[in-house]
Amino acid sequence: MKILKYSLISLATLVLIGSAGYLFAASGIQSKPGYADLTMPGWMSTDTAIAVKLGPMGLKPIRWMVDRVANKPGREFDMSKQVLLSVLDDLEGVQLRIYEVEDNRQVFDQAIDDSIVTLKQDNWQTLISVQEDDDRLVVMQAGDDDLIEGLSVLASTPENAVFINLVGQISPESIAAIADRLHRI
């Protein structure tokens, strides 16, 4: 009986510590100008494959780790990796959700449509909107051509749906390079 009691106390403690760590890592993101209030599908009707939400404090250990790997002597990166590293330096927060699409594609397409309406009401601009066969991609930005404060990527295929929000002052050159790579895919 004592083993069960201590096991439950240990499990509850781990859940509380993990929850506090997650809340700490995600804190501060909603107050940033590039934060997108994306419409996410209800959890009852979808299967979430990946869900990440990191604020400024949650990105610090990631930056540290990437910096340690990227700055090893003799290491050179191609253009796409250099763009990724420069965007990571500018980020203040990240929201990422990847869902498995089954027979519920309309739920994700409706969430994308609702997100677009909300973002446009908040003065976000559409950079890319492509619908080809069963694939859909929408990329939107907050800010203007001189100062991009946030970037959102909304995509759906017959297999997956992706909702991404990058929060932070991102250089227009980085966005152009990312957009160019997305067009090639």
Q: What is the reported pLDDT for 41?
A: 79
Q: Residue 66: inside a domain, yes or no? A: yes
> Domain range for residue 130?
28-184
Mean pLDDT estimate for the chain = 75
Residue 154: name the closest of 143, 166, 146, 145 by CA.
166
The total number of residues shown for the chain amounts to: 185
Q: Residue 126: inside a domain, yes or no? A: yes
Q: Residue 54: inside a domain, yes or no? A: yes
Q: What is the pLDDT of residues 155-170, one digit of tens each?
A: 999 998 899 998 888 7
Cα–Cα distances in angstroms (integers) from residue 103 to residues 40, 45, 100, 137, 158, in the given order: 17, 10, 10, 19, 9
Under DSSP, the state recorded for 138 is E
Least confident piece of the model among 2-6, 8-12, 139-143: 8-12
Bigger pLDDT: 147 or 16?
Answer: 147
Q: Residue 108: inside a domain, yes or no? A: yes
Q: Residue 21: inside a domain, yes or no? A: no
Q: Residue 107: inside a domain, yes or no? A: yes
pLDDT higher than 70, residue 54 = yes
Task: Say which residues have a Cβ less than 8 Å from residue 146's Cβ, sequence separation at least 6.
Answer: 172
What's this model's pTM, rounded to 2 decimal places?
0.71
Least confident piece of the model among 74-88, 112-126, 152-166: 74-88
Residue 162: name the closest of 132, 136, 127 by CA.
136
Q: What is the reported pLDDT for 20?
A: 40
Q: Residue 40: inside a domain, yes or no? A: yes
Which residues are registered as beta bridge partners of 53?
95
Q: How many domains does the chain have?
A: 1
Residue 153: name the closest of 184, 172, 123, 175 by CA.
175
Q: Residue 122: inside a domain, yes or no? A: yes
Q: Which helix (H) or strand (E) holds 116?
A: helix 105-121
Bigger pLDDT: 10 or 50?
Answer: 50
SS3 content of the chain, % helix, strand, coil (to 5): 45, 30, 25
